[in-house]
Chain A
Amino acid sequence: MKGWRFFLPLGLFAAFVGIAGYQLSQPKSEFVESAMIGKPMPPFDMRPATSDVPGLSLANLKDGKPKLLNIWASWCVPCAAEAPHLAELERQGAPIVGVAIRDRPEDVAAFLARYGNPFQRIGADDLSELQLAIGSSGVPETFVIDGEGVIRYQHIGDVRAEHVPLLMEKLREAGA
């Protein structure tokens, strides 16, 4: 058949789509999972990120109760977007502690005044030291820490409504 050569471009294109589709369907390690899951938190002691809320240290995490550790910053819009869902988590009884990354006390205070404060404690991490140490590579991230200060679960990105039950479940598992 003479016309087959006119279908050649279509064939090449189909091959491209095949490869691209295959690549898209592959789970991408877009988010770098922390290698620290299952390992204890490193020792740290952070000053309060703002005057009204106490600071955070390793000892606070080792009080026997599992907690959510939220890595955030006042300059981060997704952090503002997740604020209502953190509030919901708090309402359901999850203890939440925060780490503010590269932030200023007045900005932190303004953020809390505007979006509410679900945090029991907020430590200031001015150089991203703790953030890097626990394998978090951006804001916001939320970790589940068990009562012994061991990292049990890492949630990357902002917490949305659908993540609330999941995080509550993980928190319960960590308590068991």
Chain B
Amino acid sequence: MSAVKAKHQRLILVVIALVALVAAGVIASWALRNQASYFYVPSQFVEDPPAPGQAIRLGGMVEANSIKTQSDGVTIDFVVGDGDARVPVRYSGIVPDLFVEGSGVVAEGKMQSDGTFVADNLLAKHDENYVPRELQDMNDQHKKAAVAETTI
């Protein structure tokens, strides 16, 4: 094979590489802007509600006397507030142990088209660090992260 041809062939590979890397950058940055889930507190949430279907995280306090269990036994409704604004949330599943009225919570979920916020995951807060008990108040994923974090 001639040297010119080889150089030509090499160029093809370089072009493939460049196209792939540029594509990676463009697609990744586009997707990050659209798919990253933003953190809201209730007053931001009320002022500028997220678009339906957009995954977000809502952080605040569980208002007193707001937890209502539905008749199916696994769905709960509650209100997340920050003193200024209140956002009703619905969640189906097994709640974390530290999820009680008056405690902090981060609800991960989406706004539905009918205007309710449906959480598919709850993280109970009060997760602090300087005691080995740090894990007790976290939800499982963060427990796992913490465990791995102290061991990796």
Is there contact, CB below 8 Å, between B131 and A76? yes
Q: Decide if B132 touches A157 in the complex (CB within 8 Å).
A: no
Please tell me if the beta carbons of A132 and B131 are within 8 angstroms of each other in the complex: no
Overall SS of chain B's interface: loop
* Bound-state Cα–Cα, A76 to B133, Å: 8
Residues in A whose Cβ lies below 8 Å from that of B130: 78, 138, 140, 156-158
* Distance from B105 Cβ to chain A, minimum over Cβ atoms (Å): 13
The A interface is mostly helix, strand or loop, or mixed, namely loop
Is A52 part of the contact surface with B, judged by Cβ < 8 Å?
no
- Decide if B129 is an interface residue (CB 8 Å cutoff): yes
Chain B residues within 8 Å of chain A by Cβ, number: 12
For B132, what are the chain A residues with a Cβ–Cβ distance below 8 Å? 76-77
> Are B131 and A31 in contact, with the CB atoms below 8 A?
no
> Are A138 and B102 in contact, with the CB atoms below 8 A?
no
Q: Assess the B126–A132 pair: CB atoms within 8 A.
A: yes
Listed in ascending order, the chain B residues whose CB lies under 8 Å from chain A are 102-103, 126-134, 137
A61-97 interface code vs B (CB 8 A; 1 in, 0 out): 0000000000000011110000000000000000000
Our count of residue pairs bridging A and B at CB distance below 8 angstroms stands at 33
CB nearest neighbor in B for A138: B128
Q: Which residues in A have their C-beta under 8 angstroms from that of B137?
A: 137
Is A30 at the interface (CB under 8 A from chain B)?
A: yes
Q: How far is the CB of B31 from chain A (nearest CB, A)?
A: 20
Residues of B within 8 Å of A75, CB to CB, are 133
For chain A, the bracket of interface size reads 10 to 19
* A32: interface (CB < 8 Å): yes
In the complex, which residues 29-59 of chain A have their Cβ closer than 8 Å to any Cβ of chain B? 30-32
A167 near B: Cβ within 8 Å? no
Nearest CB in chain A: distance from B17 CB, A = 12
> When the two chains form their complex, are residues B131 and A78 in contact, meaning their CB atoms are under 8 A apart?
yes
Asked whether A139 lies within 8 Å of B126 as measured between CB atoms, the reply is: no
Q: A76-B132, A156-B130 are in contact. List 13 more A-B contacts (CB 8 A).
A: A31-B128, A32-B126, A75-B133, A76-B133, A78-B131, A132-B103, A137-B126, A138-B128, A138-B133, A138-B134, A139-B133, A140-B130, A156-B128
Bound-state Cα–Cα, A75 to B128, Å = 16
Partner of A32, one of B102, B103, B128, B134: B128
A130-154 with Cβ < 8 A to chain B = 132, 137-140
10 contacts between A and B (CB under 8 A): A75-B133, A76-B133, A77-B132, A137-B126, A137-B137, A138-B128, A138-B130, A138-B133, A140-B131, A158-B130
Alpha-carbon distance between A12 and B133 when the two chains are bound, in angstroms: 39
